[in-house]
């Protein structure tokens, strides 16, 4: 038996009884990549906001945009759902930088629409291709009653963004550092971290083993996604889990996509820690 397939087989066995399809992409930055249905196309839901943030920083680097520009929250930007800006009335002004932070850390839909309007849909899609994501598209702004989809991507494409981000090779080292700071504040990473031991993630309890995550998730009726970088004392690894074709469209903490994704994520963490920074010896 090829021992290098052990973790992959364990993952496949875990998701065999899952009511849905899960695409997975993993990279331990030591030469091991695990890809399961990684080139399958999935609806991104709010995961596409990762690409919008990257395109914003790319446009800033090209001097076509500024994080200090002021943008207006207009009536056409309104969309219910995640975020905090829906508590404000149209006409509010905020900096591009602040809209970007809201878009990621609380997945604010209005902030996302403001940035799509600011950058332009065509510009964002050109940038996505320029970043090497050949199978990723932002189809439209977020208006759930008007459009049935938001974005499409593959686990491989999505993982490639975080892999380059972790290496400081996505935009520039400084831009990548700023983006990582934002992703580390992201509030909705329950699939990746749901089954992580709380002790490992609580800085008040230990100075020994600390784990942090820089990620962006996304959920709609037809998908549940999560992906990003897990930072450990032994180094980082990238994990992406995209889900579709499940029968239960309701949102609740015990949704099978979240449960099975969390199990896979914990399995991967345990392996990485046990081998001190690798998926395989």
Q: Tell me: the pLDDT tens digits for 55-102?
A: 999 999 999 999 999 999 999 999 988 889 999 999 999 999 999 999
Q: Is 51 exposed, middle or buried (0-12, 13-18, 19+ CB in 10 A)?
A: buried
Beta bridge partners, 70, equal 95
The residues facing 42 across adjacent strands are 153
φ, ψ of residue 212 to 5 degrees: the values are -130, 160
Question: Average pLDDT, stretch 12-33?
Answer: 94
Q: Which class does domain 3-274 fall in?
A: alpha beta
| CA 124 and chain centroid, separation | 17
At 116, phi and psi to the nearest 5? Answer: -65, -40
Alpha-carbon distance of 46 to 27, in angstroms, equals 22
**Band (215; pLDDT cuts 50, 70, 90):** very high
| CA-closest candidate to residue 240, choices 217, 274, 220 | 217
pLDDT of residue 1: 39
Contact 210, 198 (CB under 8 A): no
Token pair belonging to 71: 């943008």
Q: Which of 138, 150, 136, 175 is nearest to 58 (CA)?
A: 175
Note the pLDDT of residue 4: 53
The pair of structure tokens assigned to 65 is: 């945009």
137-138: strand order across its sheet: 42-43, 151-153, 137-138
pLDDT above 70 for 228:
yes
Give the total residue count for the chain. Answer: 281
């Amino acid at each position: 038996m090829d021992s290098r397939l052990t973790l992959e087989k364990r993952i496949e066995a875990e998701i065999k009884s899952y009511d849905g399809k899960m695409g997975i992409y993993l990279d331990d930055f030591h030469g091991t990549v695990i890809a399961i249905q990684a080139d399958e196309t999935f609806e991104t839901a709010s995961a596409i906001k990762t690409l919008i943030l990257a395109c914003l920083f790319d446009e800033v680097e090209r001097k076509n945009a500024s994080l200090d520009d002021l943008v207006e929250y207009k009536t056409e930007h309104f969309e219910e759902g995640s975020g905090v800006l829906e508590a404000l009335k149209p006409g509010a002004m905020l900096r591009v930088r602040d809209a970007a932070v809201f878009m990621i850390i609380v997945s604010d839909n209005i902030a996302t629409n403001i940035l799509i309007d600011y950058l332009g849909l065509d510009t964002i899609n050109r940038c996505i291709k320029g970043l090497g994501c050949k199978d990723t598209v932002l189809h439209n702004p977020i208006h759930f009653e008007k459009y049935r989809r938001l974005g499409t991507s593959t686990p491989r494409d999505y993982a490639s963004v975080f892999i380059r981000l972790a290496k400081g090779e996505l935009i520039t080292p400084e831009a990548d550092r700023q983006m990582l700071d934002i992703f580390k504040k992201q509030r909705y990473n329950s699939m990746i971290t749901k089954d992580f031991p709380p002790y490992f993630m609580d800085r008040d309890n230990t100075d020994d083993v600390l784990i942090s995550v820089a990620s962006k998730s996304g959920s709609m009726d037809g998908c549940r996604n999560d992906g990003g970088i897990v930072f450990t004392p032994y180094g980082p690894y990238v994990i992406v889990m995209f889900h579709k074709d499940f029968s239960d469209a309701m949102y609740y903490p015990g949704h099978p996509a979240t449960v099975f994704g969390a199990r896979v994520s914990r399995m991967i963490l345990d392996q990485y820690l046990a081998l001190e920074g690798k998926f395989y010896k």
